[in-house]
Amino acid sequence: MIGFLAGTGLFALGGAAALGVRPARKGTVFAIFAAAAQPFLAVPVFRALTGEPVLTLSLPLGFPFGPAVLRLDPLAAFFALIIGLGGLSAAVYSPAYMKMYRDGRSSLSGYYLFLGILTAAMLLVVTVQNALLFLVVWEIMSLSSFFLVGFEREKDDVRRAGIYYLVAMQAGAACLLAAFAWSSTLSGSLDFASFEPIFAGNGFVPTALFLLFFIGFGVKAGFVPFHTWLPLAHPAAPTGVSALMSGVMIKTGIYGIFRILLLGGGGNPVLGYIVLAVGLVTGVFGVMNAIAQHDLKKLLAYHSVENIGLIGLGMGLGMIGLTLRNDTLALFGFFGALLHVFNHFTFKSLLFYGAGIVYLKTHTRNIERLGGLIRVMPITSVLFLIGSAAICGLPLFSGFISEFALFSGAIRALSVGGAVPRAAALGGLAGLAFIGVMAVLCFTKVFGICFLGSPRISPRETMTEGAAPLLAPMFLLTGFILLIGLLSPVILPFLGPLVRRFIPGGAGPEWIQLVDLFRAVSMALAGLAGLILFFVLLRRLLLRGKSVAAFKTWDCGYQEAGPRFQYTAGSFASPFLKLVAPIIPIAHRLREPDGLFPERASYESHSADLVETGLIRPAGAAVRRILGLLTWIQTGQTQNYILYGLIFLIVLIIWIIGVR
């Protein structure tokens, strides 16, 4: 445990150490500290994941914390693994990427300082098991990421995104504060372990508490309707931070929900269906919005919403399995959800890093202005393609393995229980398929329009392959994608002890079934890879000695087709967006050519997030109206405020003497 804390400290220390050196060196210094932290983190994490006894450290903190317990159990270790790897890849990626901000106006010191604090805080979030201390590190995490989102604070939209993010995080934290206060009042202790009896049963208190926790953590994770901060904050932050936030930080919300589940929460059968439904809606809504986006990073942010939905779907299946006492269903649900947490970390970080290289070299995130990048940045393109295939859940890549587990869970739920679980399972099945096929649409759009075809803006000499430090983390993440995609049985021993903890009794035989299934799947996938390879070689053999001529693309006899004739992202997505127009409203602004000598004409289209326009803004306005009724309290005169304090004290004294 001391080693783990040392690793955590090294991240924060790295951020502090970067303060003291020249701007050009800051990144390197931070990366060295991040790398040095890895062995300290890796050893305890792997020991915990393989099921060794839980490492515990009790800090004798005084009032108000009480004894603060840190535990590195398999759940904490699993998330610590993701945080450690995510922190390392952001640290390696950042120096080369942040070069473009080395103009003296931006504060690189602040960037590395908060990056270090953010990583360290996340590592503490998953290990601290004292409610009050947890809230403290949780706030440190939110605040440090707020400063990172606002890095380019001179830009208007960045400032707006930063404030929006901060408000959303505080709203979530308020729910958590209430939930933790409630549970520690009931249990009389701040230690998480003492909450277990409260969650037992399915009465009002455990159900309401679970929902309160689910909302509080759900804001961080980005479940619909609490997702609206993601598409604002992710694009605003520098890429290293976007990748860390999207790939890692939102998972701390998922961690929180899993922690509550591990403490026995979610016992009410209705909760499983609620989580399943929220997951399903989040997945479908996220990917539909992603299809409508033409800003590369905003699109990726909406895909994070989608993947959080898939994770929620798995959680819901697992919870339904627990209440139905169907261990196989519970196992597949939780296994799929947890594996998807890791998989989403790898491919989403990879895609953000790829998008970062594109932005660095072309200075645009607008998909419509890109094209043909595969010629100038072949390595980035191939890695981005692998990430795209993985996020679509296509076989041979990691996304398929976790989605297959979710499918398996849903299929098993079909044959248990009555009509309700069956209908829910079918909804899950059809929803998963729908989400998957929409993701294919979205990522064929992204990859096809940005990287394939002809360049839509004239290529500049600066448009080159990304430097080695930018590509290195991408290679690391690609390695994980291919490893899990092709050799999934290899990673099962590290997930087994964790997943089985969620199921009373450990689900031994069911776990063996699961391992056997994934052996069969990985053999089948090897067959698929072999067949494709066979035909690649056959094609080469058939073409040996034949003429392979290069010519222009067939343009049906039209001679002047240029890059501007290509299909655009907007036109590509249009047939689908017309189908879902009621869910994804698109505003068109057309200025037609006018008069005999038309001077200018223009056309714009913008998609709107229905939750943002239909729920968050009206709700925000309503809150402001109600609070506006109380403005008379704020007199601005010190005497009045002292009076309020006095009244509060008197009420308190009366309450203590009278009621207690």
Contacts (CB under 8 A) with another protein, residues 370-389 = 371-372, 374-375, 381, 385, 389
**What tokens appear for 519 in the block?**
């052996």
Could you give the CA distance from residue 85 to residue 98 in angstroms, rounded to a whole number? 20
Binding-site size for another protein (CB under 8 A) equals 88
Any contact of residue 572 with another protein (CB under 8 A)? yes
User: Which one, 58 or 454, has the nearer CB to another protein?
Assistant: 454
Any contact of residue 432 with another protein (CB under 8 A)? yes
Could you give the CA distance from residue 59 to residue 431 in angstroms, rounded to a whole number? 46
Task: Out of 414, 487, 515, 615, name the contact with another protein by CB under 8 A.
Answer: 414
Task: Out of 100, 193, 538, 581, name the contact with another protein by CB under 8 A.
Answer: 538
Task: Out of 186, 394, 457, 492, name the contact with another protein by CB under 8 A.
Answer: 394
Task: Write out the binding residues for another protein, residues 574-603 only, by CB under 8 A.
Answer: 574-576, 578-579
Residue 50 Cα distances to 281, 357, 392, angstroms: 34, 37, 30
Task: Write out the binding residues for another protein, residues 104-133 only, by CB under 8 A.
Answer: none
User: Which one, 254 or 446, has the nearer CB to another protein?
Assistant: 446
H or E element at residue 603: strand 602-607
610 exposed, middle or buried (CB, 10 Å; 0-12, 13-18, 19+)? middle
Question: Interface with another protein by CB under 8 A: which range of 172-180, 208-216, 404-412, 493-501?
Answer: 404-412
Under a CB-based contact definition with an 8 Å cutoff, are residues 162 and 238 in contact?
no
User: Which one, 46 or 534, has the nearer CB to another protein?
Assistant: 534
**Minimum distance from residue 520 beta carbon to another protein (Å):** 4
* Residues in the chain, total: 660
**Minimum distance from residue 513 beta carbon to another protein (Å):** 9
User: Which one, 550 or 627, has the nearer CB to another protein?
Assistant: 550
**Minimum distance from residue 443 beta carbon to another protein (Å):** 8
Residue (of 439, 298, 294, 442) closest to 368 by Cα position: 294
Could you give the CA distance from residue 614 to residue 84 in angstroms, rounded to a whole number? 38
Task: Out of 35, 136, 452, 586, name the contact with another protein by CB under 8 A.
Answer: 452
Terminal Cα distance for the chain, rounded: 42
Question: Interface with another protein by CB under 8 A: which range of 79-87, 108-116, 226-234, 515-523?
Answer: 515-523
**Minimum distance from residue 552 beta carbon to another protein (Å):** 6
Residue appearing with tokens 């100038």: 376
Residue (of 204, 444, 435, 248) closest to 341 by Cα position: 248
User: Which one, 133 or 329, has the nearer CB to another protein?
Assistant: 329
Task: Out of 458, 553, 559, 631, name the contact with another protein by CB under 8 A.
Answer: 553
**Minimum distance from residue 108 beta carbon to another protein (Å):** 37
Task: Out of 549, 633, 657, 659, name the contact with another protein by CB under 8 A.
Answer: 549
Across 418-438, b (16+ Cβ under 10 Å) vs e yields eeebeebbebbbebbeebbeb
Q: How far is CA 639 from the centre of its chain?
A: 48
Helix (H, G, I), strand (E, B) or coil at 420: helix
Task: Write out the binding residues for another protein, residues 454-493 only, by CB under 8 A.
Answer: 454
**Minimum distance from residue 606 beta carbon to another protein (Å):** 20
Which residues lie closer than 8 Å to 192 by C-beta, 6 or more apart?
69, 129, 130, 131, 134, 259, 263
Any contact of residue 509 with another protein (CB under 8 A)? no
Question: Interface with another protein by CB under 8 A: which range of 18-26, 212-220, 347-355, 421-429?
Answer: 421-429
**Minimum distance from residue 605 beta carbon to another protein (Å):** 16
Task: Write out the binding residues for another protein, residues 36-75 only, by CB under 8 A.
Answer: none
H or E element at residue 449: helix 419-450
Could you give the CA distance from residue 285 to residue 10 in angstroms, rounded to a whole number? 39
Under a CB-based contact definition with an 8 Å cutoff, are residues 454 and 563 in contact?
yes
Residue 197 Cα distances to 176, 322, 323, angstroms: 19, 17, 17
Task: Out of 566, 584, 607, 609, name the contact with another protein by CB under 8 A.
Answer: 566
User: Which one, 259 or 412, has the nearer CB to another protein?
Assistant: 412
User: Which one, 237 or 432, has the nearer CB to another protein?
Assistant: 432
Residue (of 136, 131, 97) closest to 115 by Cα position: 97
Do the strands 586-591 and 602-607 form a parallel or antiparallel pair, or are they unpaired? Answer: antiparallel
Could you give the CA distance from residue 541 to residue 561 in angstroms, rounded to a whole number? 34
**What tokens appear for 483 in the block?**
């490893």
**What tokens appear for 166 in the block?**
């901060």
Task: Out of 411, 457, 476, 482, name the contact with another protein by CB under 8 A.
Answer: 411
Could you give the CA distance from residue 336 to residue 341 in angstroms, rounded to a whole number? 9
**Minimum distance from residue 339 beta carbon to another protein (Å):** 15
Task: Give the single-character DSSP code of 466.
Answer: P
Task: Write out the binding residues for another protein, residues 314-373 only, by CB under 8 A.
Answer: 371-372
Question: Interface with another protein by CB under 8 A: which range of 460-468, 483-491, 538-546, 648-656?
Answer: 538-546
Under a CB-based contact definition with an 8 Å cutoff, are residues 306 and 434 in contact?
no
**Minimum distance from residue 447 beta carbon to another protein (Å):** 6
**Minimum distance from residue 580 beta carbon to another protein (Å):** 9
Question: Interface with another protein by CB under 8 A: which range of 21-29, 336-344, 401-409, 618-626?
Answer: 401-409
User: Which one, 143 or 429, has the nearer CB to another protein?
Assistant: 429
Enumerate the H helices of 460-503 as residue ranges: 468-486, 492-501
**Minimum distance from residue 296 beta carbon to another protein (Å):** 16
Any contact of residue 561 with another protein (CB under 8 A)? yes
**Minimum distance from residue 185 beta carbon to another protein (Å):** 44
User: Using CA atoms in the order 101, 112, 119, 306, what is the torsion angle rounded to 10 degrees?
Assistant: -10
Any contact of residue 605 with another protein (CB under 8 A)? no
User: Which one, 533 or 643, has the nearer CB to another protein?
Assistant: 533
